[in-house]
Amino acid sequence: RGSYKVSRMLRSSACARPCRLLVEWRRALPHAVLPCCFRGPSDAAPPPTSRLERRRGRLLALLRSLRLPRPTSFAAFDNDFPLPLRAADLVDAPCAPSGKGLAYLVGFFDGDGCVSVCNGRSGCELSVKQSIQHPEVLLRYLQAFGGSITLSNHAQGSVHVMLSWRITGQGARDAATVLCRHLSLKREQLLIASRWPRGTDERELMASRLRQLKLVDSSGAFVESWEYLAGFFDAEGCISIPATYPGVRLDISQKHPSILLSISSWLVRAWPTYTPCFRSIGNGHMYRLSVSKMAVSRFMLERLIDSGLQQKRPAAEIALGVEGSNHLLSRQRLAA
């Protein structure tokens, strides 16, 4: 029907001015692509990239509007656990770790842990958040110190469900005391949590000091073992396989540089002929430590696996097996 209207319009407007013909064409077929002879600069067809961007924007908007059902359980270590999960629900009573297990938990807490003041400044809360796809480390904190694992936020669009391990009260003071035994990035924050004062003025002072510690960098050498580094890399590290060659790249990004410099010094002692790449990113607001030499990356991943790497262990095993014949397949498996 549209083509009939256009042909009729052209016959009746053969002698009309081009501008009038253009107006009538617009009225007949408002969504049609104009012939080149009538097309002005503003009528040009949008480039493919802009069309793709608009489609991507619409899909992202649709994805953000999707809200998945609230989960009632999570899976870890081949078992299902209800939500919320409390220490009293476990078969075994919490048992504080020591040695290598403690070093791993301290390293992970330095990466993803948080010390915060409870409402009313009655004490401090220790917490760690993780995706529901990787809740094993939360269960380790629960088994070590008690507390509870609860739902932190719902799944919406591409955002996964987040779980949180939390502990308050005397349990938080006891857990902070144990975590303080190991040199760490957040040791001073943990010391405040373990020695929370009783007086109102002292509590106000400690709450202010805790806020300051979250804004400034800490100084010192924090990496004293591969177990600590395994925990920190599980929380903050990234394993990637470059698209152009069958190699392995390891990255750690942080807001403050001291922990990255400490890791770099540790790696230089372990592999004296190689110095990791340290640089600032994001206009100087972030820092990144990178290891791109294949031999050093393999060495690091093997040591981290032997030292208890848990959440990134599957990705590390894929990276250790990359070679020329399975380069693209390994990249696909790593991205899955």
Per-residue pLDDT for the chain (336 aa), expressed as one digit of tens each?
545 544 555 455 444 455 565 556 556 655 555 555 555 555 555 676 788 888 888 888 888 787 778 899 999 999 999 999 999 898 887 887 888 999 999 999 999 999 999 998 999 999 999 999 999 999 999 999 999 999 998 777 677 889 999 999 999 999 999 999 998 999 999 999 999 999 999 999 999 999 999 999 987 767 989 999 999 999 999 999 999 999 999 999 999 999 999 999 999 999 999 999 999 998 888 999 999 999 999 999 999 999 999 999 999 999 999 999 999 999 999 988
Strand positions, DSSP E, 6-123: 73-76, 79-82, 85-86, 113-117
- Among 236, 220, 277, smallest CA distance to 107 is for 236
3-state secondary structure of 165: strand
Task: Name the one residue in this structure whose structure tokens are 């992202």.
Answer: 60
Q: Render the burial of 78-89: b for 16+ CB within 10 Å, e for the rest.
A: eeebebebebee
- The pTM (predicted TM-score) of the whole model is 0.81
What pLDDT does 219 receive? 77
3-state secondary structure of 164: strand
Within a 10 A sphere around the Cβ of 298, how many other Cβ atoms?
16
Task: Name the one residue in this structure whose structure tokens are 């540089």.
Answer: 257
What pLDDT does 325 receive? 92
End-to-end CA distance of the chain: 49
The token duo for 51 is: 């069309």
What pLDDT does 35 receive? 54
Torsions phi, psi for 23 (to 5 deg): -65, -45
Torsions phi, psi for 278 (to 5 deg): -115, 125
> CB of 331 within 8 A of CB of 325?
no
Helix (H) or strand (E) holding 297: helix 294-306
The token duo for 207 is: 């709450």
Which domains are delineated in the chain? 73-214 (3.10.28.10), 226-335 (3.10.28.10)
What pLDDT does 20 receive? 61
Question: Which string of DSSP letters, residue by residue, matches 50-73?
Answer: HHHHHHHHHHHHHHHH-BPPPP-E
